[in-house]
């Protein structure tokens, strides 16, 4: 099975109030930092709302949404419809602590299910830091056509395996608000 990667950078960042992809960590913006962790994948896609919305990280192909305004499910459907790989590691640009070791761990555990979704210790599922088989595209399309844009609702119609990656829980640190961003820098040096 071949696995590519797709980095989602088409969101509106409503709760943050500014573009999350451009926030800085380790002297890089989130988008550049996360893209650098996906270098081991032969196929790397960047999901955007519209063509030309972002500068492409090196080695990435742009994938504009086929169905605009549908959120992550629309971006995932577009990426799965376009990819050459059998599956895609999906990653949102608001997980700045994600690393290549976690990417390899997820890819190594993706056999035997339609979707592999990690969960944090509190049971929270992360469907945008997961591995989705290309064969999931028709199920996503059915939900999109039916007006259901909740990604986890579509997952309920698939063979999902949840994985509790205790050693990688830090990689699932999600930055959605200014408070989340400040918490990345306990010494206050943002």
Reply yes or no on whether the pLDDT at 121 is more than 90. Answer: no
Options 3.90.550.10, 3.20.20.140, 3.90.1200.10, 3.40.190.10; CATH of 3-183: 3.90.550.10
Which residue is listed with tokens 């992360």? 126
The residue behind tokens 């944090």 is 120
Q: What percent of the chain has pLDDT over 90?
A: 71
DSSP 137: H
The mean pLDDT of the chain is 91
What mean pLDDT do residues 106-116 have?
97
Q: How far apart are CA 116 and CA 113, in angstroms?
A: 7
Query: Which tokens go with 22?
Result: 């451009």
Q: Which of 23-37, 131-145, 148-162, 173-187 has the lowest mean pLDDT?
A: 173-187
Asked whether 92 and 11 are in contact (CB, 8 A), the reply is: yes
Query: How many other C-beta atoms are found inside a 10 Å radius of the C-beta of residue 68?
Result: 11
Q: How far apart are the C-alpha atoms of 73 and 137, rounded to whole Å?
A: 10
Question: Which of 59, 64, 13, 65 minimizes the C-alpha distance to 32?
Answer: 59
The confidence score (pLDDT) of residue 186 equals 73
Predicted confidence (pLDDT) per residue in 23-82, tens digit: 899 899 999 999 999 999 999 999 998 887 778 899 999 999 998 888 899 999 999 999
Longest dimension (CA), the chain: 47
Task: Give this prediction's pTM.
Answer: 0.92
């Amino acid at each position: 099975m071949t696995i590519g990667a797709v980095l989602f950078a088409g969101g509106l960042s409503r709760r943050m109030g500014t573009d999350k992809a451009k926030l800085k960590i380790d002297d890089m913006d989130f988008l550049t930092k996360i893209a650098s962790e996906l270098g081991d994948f032969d196929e790397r896609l960047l999901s955007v709302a519209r063509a030309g919305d972002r500068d492409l990280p090196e080695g990435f192909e742009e994938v504009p949404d086929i169905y605009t305004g549908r959120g992550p499910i629309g971006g995932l459907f577009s990426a799965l419809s376009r990819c050459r790989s059998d599956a895609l590691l999906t990653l949102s640009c608001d997980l700045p602590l994600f690393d290549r070791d976690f990417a390899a761990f997820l890819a190594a555990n993706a056999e035997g299910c339609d979707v592999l979704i990690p969960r944090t210790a509190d049971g929270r599922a992360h469907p945008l830091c997961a591995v989705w088989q290309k064969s999931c595209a028709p199920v996503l399309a059915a939900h999109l056509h039916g007006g259901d844009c909740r990604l986890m609702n579509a997952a309920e119609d698939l063979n999902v395996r949840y994985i509790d990656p205790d050693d990688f829980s830090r990689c699932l640190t999600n930055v959605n608000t200014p408070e989340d961003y400040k918490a990345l820098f306990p010494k206050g040096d943002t």
